[in-house]
Amino acid sequence: METLVYSQCTTHGGGVLKSGGGGAVSVLGFPLQHLKPHTLPGSKKKQSFGAIKASLAKTEVALLRIGTRGSPLALAQAHETRNKLMASHPELAEEGAIEIVVIKTTGDKILSQPLADIGGKGLFTKEIDEALINGDIDIAVHSMKDVPTYLPEKTILPCNLKREDVRDAFISLSASSLAELPAGSVVGTASLRRKSQILHRYPSLKVEDNFRGNVQTRLRKLNEGVVQATLLALAGLRRLSMTENVTSTLSIDEMLPAVAQGAIGIACRSDDEKMASYLASLNHEETRLAVSCERAFLLTLDGSCRTPIAGYASKDEDGNCIFKGLVASPDGTRVLETSRKGSYHFEDMVSMGKDAGKELLSRAGPGFFDS
């Protein structure tokens, strides 16, 4: 397993990457011509998560090691976690107290094939989970929509940070919305959830479903004319301070989001009370409950990378939980939807998610996802 350790200098905002497994030091991400100036090469203004440079390892032993993927978005999420820990716990605000360990996952290594083809669960979490279990890191920061519905033995996920905007962003250089794209236009996405909903509403469009890579890579491909449009999670663009690239934002009714989209989850070992205590101080309970409802829905459907599934739980103005769920055939010819309303409490919300999943399973019937 190749790991890179990112030691953050908390007093100066800089950072260093050092190899933790013999691999070469690398920085991911490609700028676009139309990105903000601070994202372009040679810009003096730093990214929000600090400059990255090769350097010798620090000699101090970190009090807490954060495991993460190495994409710019994953690093931004790791730094958001680090900053919240520093703000809540003075001992973690000392220089060198927190290290960020970058771990390359299976999903990051295999970019030539659609996610559905390399299949399985945990494509973006498996190696990070292994590092956590083995004691190479103390906590693991994940995009919750990448986390399988089961957790590995000896780990718990007690913390969700406050959720970002769950909606999808439409990005195009030639049209202001999906509806304005001419027939035959190609939309790039690696998500079968997005693909099925696009084709269901706009069957005249084409979808390139192996549109892989981090946010910067996908925007570069769009800029080069590989596709005419793409959809990205608005949450990721916000965390990267790249919302200037958004052409328009799709409503929940237009594009139901992925289960747990916009939520960050933080795991630790089940026997590590100190880390569990740290994470408890960061947990946003409203987000955790919503994510639990959505994941109960996904678990009931036994969703995989080959199953277009969407689900979203939110709190209405009266404090109740509103859940919307969707399953679709991969080609988008059939879309089944359902909704639930109930109290905003853990047991009730998990039951709502499960019940909605059972309903759609029953309505879909055998062979639905094979069409």
List, for residues 43-93, the tens digit of each pLDDT value: 333 344 433 333 333 436 899 999 999 999 999 999 999 999 999 999 999
What DSSP string runs through 234-288? HHHHHHTT-GGG-SEE--TTTSPPPTTTT-EEEEEETT-HHHHHHHHTT--HHHH
Sheet containing 335-343: order of strands: 309-315, 320-328, 335-343
Which position has the token pair 């594009």?
255
What is the mean predicted confidence (pLDDT) over 139-145? 95
**Can you give the pLDDT at residue 109?**
60
Where residue 114 falls among pLDDT bands split at 50, 70, 90?
A: low
| pLDDT surpasses 60 at 246 | yes
**Can you give the pLDDT at residue 23?**
34
Average model confidence (pLDDT) across the chain: 83
Q: Which CATH class is domain 168-249?
A: alpha beta
Partners of 335 in the beta sheet?
A: 328
| pLDDT surpasses 90 at 8 | no
Among 47, 40, 86, 42, smallest CA distance to 63 is for: 86
**Can you give the pLDDT at residue 41?**
36
Q: Are 234 and 164 in contact (CB under 8 A)?
A: yes
Is residue 146 part of the annotated active site? The answer reads: yes
Where residue 40 falls among pLDDT bands split at 50, 70, 90?
A: very low
Long-range Cβ contact pairs of 200-207 (< 8 A, separation 24 or more): 200/328, 200/332, 200/333, 200/335, 201/254, 202/178, 203/332, 205/178, 205/181
Say which of 108, 129, 136, 146 is annotated catalytic: 146
Q: What is the CATH number of domain 285-370?
A: 3.30.160.40
Q: Do domains 60-163+263-283 and 168-249 have the same CATH topology?
A: yes
| pLDDT surpasses 70 at 205 | yes
| pLDDT surpasses 70 at 27 | no
* CB-side neighbour CA atoms (13 Å) of 305: 18
List, for residues 248-265, the tens digit of each pLDDT value: 999 999 999 999 999 999
| pLDDT surpasses 80 at 20 | no
Q: Are 275 and 336 in contact (CB under 8 A)?
A: no
207: enclosing H helix or E strand: strand 206-208
Phi, psi of 242 (to 5 degrees): -125, 30
Which position has the token pair 């079968």?
192
Among 68, 101, 97, smallest CA distance to 85 is for: 97
Fold of 60-163+263-283: D-Maltodextrin-Binding Protein; domain 2 (3.40.190)
**362 SS3 class:** helix
Domain boundaries, the chain: 60-163+263-283, 168-249, 285-370
| pLDDT surpasses 70 at 116 | no
What is the mean predicted confidence (pLDDT) over 309-328? 97
What DSSP string runs through 54-66? E-PPPSSPPSEEE
Partners of 171 in the beta sheet?
A: 230
**Can you give the pLDDT at residue 61?**
82
What is the mean predicted confidence (pLDDT) over 351-371? 88
| pLDDT surpasses 70 at 115 | no
5: enclosing H helix or E strand: strand 3-8
Q: Which two tokens stand for residue 65?
A: 């090691």
Burial class (CB in 10 A: 0-12, 13-18, 19+), 149: middle
Where residue 244 falls among pLDDT bands split at 50, 70, 90?
A: very high
Where residue 213 falls among pLDDT bands split at 50, 70, 90?
A: confident
**Can you give the pLDDT at residue 307?**
82
Q: Are strands 15-19 and 309-315 parallel, antiparallel or unpaired?
A: unpaired
Residue 214 identity? N
Q: What is the 3-state secondary structure (H, E, C) of 34-77?
A: CCCHHHCCCCCCCCCCCCEEECCCCCCCCCEEEEECCCHHHHHH
Tell me which DSSP letter residue 163 carries: P
The residue that leads in pLDDT, 23 or 330, is 330
Q: Which two tokens stand for residue 181?
A: 């794209």
Cβ-proximal residues to 93 (8 Å cutoff; 6+ apart), any chain: 10, 86, 87
**Can you give the pLDDT at residue 311?**
98
**Can you give the pLDDT at residue 34?**
37
**Can you give the pLDDT at residue 24?**
31
CA 177 to chain centre: 23
| pLDDT surpasses 50 at 9 | no
User: In this prediction, what percent of the chain has a pLDDT beyond 90?
Assistant: 68
Where residue 25 falls among pLDDT bands split at 50, 70, 90?
A: very low
CA angle 27–31–36, rounded 5-degree value: 120
| pLDDT surpasses 50 at 39 | no
